[in-house]
A and B are shown apart, each in its own frame.
Chain A
Amino acid sequence: MLRESMHAQGSQVELAGVTKGFGADAGIPHAAALTAFTEAVVLREAARTESGRLALRAALGDAGLVDACATAAAFHGFVRIADAIGIPHYSSPGGDDLSGLREQAGINEFYRVQGDGALR
């Protein structure tokens, strides 16, 4: 989804940022601030979440911050459904081969992929 959204804008993204974090050079406005805030929310770090919220509010405005919070929250649901129900993780909804993308993004190092022996 990230790669396709960048392609739609005529840009590319370094997919290693998915697992290593995105810096200011990612080609996405406010990528570093979005990354820092997202990490703080996931790790439930209250002080970093608050400072990140202030930074993003200044950068994105009220509505932008709300939608950043909404997106981060949405994926706290998606990941739990996917991983608790154990849906297949080795293909896209369209059945495309994602092996190259997964290697670039570092996803092949994840516990479930390693455990399944499903490096496809």
Chain B
Amino acid sequence: MPQKAFSGTDLPVREDLAEAHRRAWAAIAAPGTWLSAARRVAVAAEIRRARDCAHCARIRAALSPEGVPGAHDTLGAVSPAEVELIHRVVNDPGRLSEKWSQAVLAAGLAEGEYVEIVGLIALVMMMDTFTRALGAADTPLPAPQPGEPSRYRPTGARRKAAWLPITEPEDATAADGPMYPSPKAGYIYRALSMVPQSLRDYWALASAHYLPGPAIYRFDQSVRAIARPQVELIAARVSALHQCAY
């Protein structure tokens, strides 16, 4: 049953979608795999700060994203490497490069931290874009919860097909926890698999926004209130405007 779950709008939001948002914010507020809860919430705050970064606007306007002079407008609560990762992924994701990703790592981020932060960016961007599209207010950032990061790295995570390590379905172990609905899961599904909890958090939210897994390849049906071609028109246009080639 649709519920009013977002302040600033009278639009009724599906309960499964509202619940997915609640769970995602709770996950952000909990200790992660490599980041503490306080650091995760600080990353979320920096993601919101990045939306209005003047330096990012100059980079976007430049013919090449490399070598644009200036500094990001930051809240100052995360490291310079984290600021660069967050701002570029938020504001110019279609013009990232392997060289850039390796420079971010060399500036002081571990691979697991990088992947976990990318997962957080995807969660916050998805939820904030949704509320803004609805005309609702941003959801207040949650209070960080106590606890320690698990520091779990899958034994099968390897850097091979992508810029960062991936745990391919055939290399996943029981200790990783559930990750893949199918051994044929596409690369978009595998992308966060170096940090299995980030993968699970991301797909719990993404499935509620887009389509549940079993519905994705049933092109003759729609489980949403708009027709499947309408869903895919929006998807294709968002991807193209971001210059996403995947």
Contacts and interface: CB of A to CB of B under 8 A. Distances in A.
Contacts, number: 264
B54 interface: no
Interface string A40-76: 0111100001100100010011111111111111111
Nearest to B14: A66
29 contacts: A4-B219, A6-B229, A7-B219, A8-B219, A9-B229, A34-B233, A38-B238, A44-B51, A49-B135, A67-B225, A67-B226, A71-B238, A72-B129, A72-B130, A75-B210, A75-B239, A78-B122, A79-B239, A79-B242, A79-B246, A81-B118, A83-B89, A83-B93, A84-B93, A84-B118, A85-B118, A93-B185, A107-B245, A113-B245
A1 B232 contact: yes
B12 A66 contact: yes
B225 A2 contact: no
A68 B230 contact: yes
B122 A80 contact: yes
Interface of A: 1-2, 4-9, 11, 13, 17-19, 21-22, 26-31, 34-35, 37-39, 41-44, 49-50, 53, 57, 60-89, 92-94, 102, 105-107, 110-113, 115
A35 B233 contact: yes
Contacts of A60: 225-226
Contacts of B227: 28-29
B161 A88 contact: yes
Interface of B: 2, 11-14, 17, 51, 85, 89-90, 93-98, 101, 115, 118-119, 121-123, 125-127, 129-130, 132-135, 161-164, 166, 184-188, 190-192, 202, 205-206, 208-210, 219-220, 224-246
Nearest to B89: A84
B140 to A, nearest CB: 18
5 nearest interchain CB pairs? A93-B186, A86-B163, A74-B209, A63-B225, A73-B130
Given A29-B227, A50-B135, A70 B17 contact: yes
Contacts of B121: 80, 84
